[in-house]
A and B are shown apart, each in its own frame.
Chain A
């Protein structure tokens, strides 16, 4: 019997693998790399070292030596990083986006609400969703492309479509119809706001996942370690990083960055992990997006403008980059390549109809063209990246890839382990399990921990931590290809400030204790919580 079971597993594994291969091959076939490889192979036929009788082998060797194999590897690796979880071969597409029906319904409902709010703003202000700019306007915008921040249009009537706290209300109301919550006050019950069952990791599993953050590993972002001499580790780590970069291997870079990235190597290392090469085609594509912005005026432009003015423009760290943020975000809103990520996101792009053709499918268009409606704080996903890339086209590509790999999960409803719902539940479970007294106390005074930490997680802590610390945190997001670290850090912050929090007597007081996170050192907090908390 045992043998049979094992064989069955192997078979299932094999099936899964071939499905994965088929998926990746399909994705790559339509990529630019595919045509480049083809072209390269074809021109190589004229080379003397390629002989007809050993064509296949010679070609392989040639592609390997000329660095194309590395590029292919990195491209495959990129696809694997965003690969949807395995599903039954006959499962419908919507199941790949999100397997749980009640989650799907909640997401659809949420999208409707957001779109309705957008539409009603349109009607209220009597502004079309999109319109072509007059030639004079186009000229003017082109002239001030690099200084959009100096413009002060009247945006007082615009308001963010939603803020994180509106979204939190929706998550709190999520229910699984097949699951009985039971006695809310029972000992084993969940004290938090999220009341749906999802598998989240416990401390032992987190320790396993984040093994490289352990006390026995060297770590950038730790000033003094007892086990590892800091100076020695740093210089070694820089040398290793240079080697990883010279090898141009995404997978190695991803492993490397788990222990943190030296500041001077971060821009290149992140680009390598995200498989961004910023070639000519990429900057041409960016220019194309830019000209789309110049030609058309979208309603979301005002939302973006308003968001930057409300957030980054007032931020001690990021105000300097205000103009870059407009450029990146406006181009992003026009970028239809972003739509690809909806194949593995629980969200679907909002659709709008051409005037007078409401409800007619033939006249439906995705709006905004990238399918993403910005909310309050959206600009903060871009802001920290401005510290790394001063060239707009590269900044843009890195941001887009970060978005389609990670950030979209922070504002859509799904059961994915990196999705915001799982992060909320992970956070609440950690605090309830390891800081029960604190949780109980905060709940008693009406200061549910998630009400404070939610905004941190939705923004991936951008705008809350000092930038150097934030980059250390994002190093680990990239390194582990997971957002779970955000929930762990949120819990670690509560643990760190537990003493002061215990003295708080209201939500406002608790919020005040946690109002300024800019002095926190991320890595020691994470280590302390992950590896020094007694289970």
Chain B
């Protein structure tokens, strides 16, 4: 039998509602029976909290994993990735190979990061090694560029030092936990402007890991020219690419919103730098996404009622190396431009097509193997089941020397859609 899906949402966005209505689904309220709940991260916390004691039925699915914050909180993500490396190291995996400076060759994809106030002393040690570096301070639990600032002097963050004699540490501003990361001060510039990448990644299961990459990601451009000079440190428009920050800049253009499609980026890079380096960059990006997910997979509560669509923020430096900046659990569904509306409508549409097969009443025990036709603008990124079946899990072991390395790495990652399936 195929009744109509009953949906609830606490995010009244037209891209969601339009998609539900298009499917003939019926809106209901949280007090009644529902099958599909698109909820905010605040709500998911309550739903899965011990107090609520809520139990989901087999025909109910939600758009978050209970402890998604293991990936989407900046401090926890960093912690998990560090742990992942340690574990691989213990297992003797060649993935954790390091170069002569002690840097990871394959897993060095997040800028050096510390927790404050916890890691203050470690940070000071690192800062002193390179006193001209610039660092970016971000509050752990905030999004959309709120509370972010840059520093290039220790004195600017004295109040986060644990052994600080002053009492400012207890002041309201200092209470919050921050992560401090090395600021990528050599970003790739296009047209002289800095940008970051927003990519959408869908996870339908963590164990085994099953994830998809959305083809219609975009670059977000700063409206101002990028100058690495420290005199501009206070001008957030230069450094932050979040649309919510850029919108307040004087030059914000409401027609394109500073957004440039990933296909534009690819065309530009391939035209100006060649196909090989461009392919490698995109391979590296896929690599980052998969390993960030693998890093959190062991700690993630792999609830079968859950799926999640993440917004990955990536910065590319001028050597075409991508850096993972952060992952968002609820990427913005508001639309700033006409194209944006189409993109987000499609994103939800394609997501629903995968997680609610045939638009029928969901069954959380479904096999999570959507047919190719159902993928829309998504591409398979990684499927642990298939990867294991085909025995390509040994990717790390195939790497021997630096020369072989390059080729085999490419072979493993280049065609995720054929070798990883």
Contacts and interface: CB of A to CB of B under 8 A. Distances in A.
Given A152-B250, A319-B253, A263 B192 contact: no
Interface string B270-286: 11101110100000000
B274 A149 contact: no
Contact of A267 (B224, B225, B271, B276): B271
Interface string B196-226: 0000000000000000000000000101110
Given A147-B192, A314-B253, A316-B260, A390 B272 contact: yes
B224 A147 contact: yes
B191 A263 contact: no
B261 interface: yes
Contact of A149 (B251, B256, B264, B278): B251
Contacts of B261: 316
Given A263-B270, A390-B272, A323 B250 contact: no
Contacts of A266: 271
Contact of A320 (B193, B274, B275, B278): B193
A475 to B, nearest CB: 12
Given A314-B256, A316-B339, A264 B267 contact: no
A320 B255 contact: no
A98 B191 CA distance: 40
A313 B267 contact: no
B366 interface: no
A387 B268 contact: yes
B170 interface: no
B190 interface: yes
A11 interface: no
Given A146-B225, A324-B191, A387-B268, A264 B274 contact: yes
Interface string B230-253: 000000000000000000001101
A389 interface: yes
A386 interface: yes
A43 interface: no
B191 A321 contact: yes
Nearest to B250: A152
**Of B191, B255, B261, most A-chain CB atoms within 10 Å:** B191
A147 B263 CA distance: 25
Nearest to A261: B271
Contacts of B192: 146-147, 323-324
B191 A320 contact: yes
B256 A264 contact: no
Given A152-B250, A316-B339, A319-B256, A264 B271 contact: yes
Given A147-B192, A150-B251, A316 B271 contact: no
A323 B225 CA distance: 9
B225 A147 contact: yes
A121 interface: no
Nearest to B193: A320
A322 interface: yes
Contacts of A513: none
A467 B272 CA distance: 14
A388 B225 contact: no
A315 interface: yes
A519 B121 CA distance: 55
Interface in A312-363: 313-317, 319-324
Contact of A264 (B224, B259, B260, B275): B275
Nearest to B261: A316
Nearest to B258: A319
Contacts of A313: 253
5 contacts: A150-B225, A152-B250, A319-B258, A320-B264, A387-B268
Interface of B: 190-193, 221, 223-225, 250-251, 253, 255-256, 258-261, 263-264, 267-268, 270-272, 274-276, 278, 339
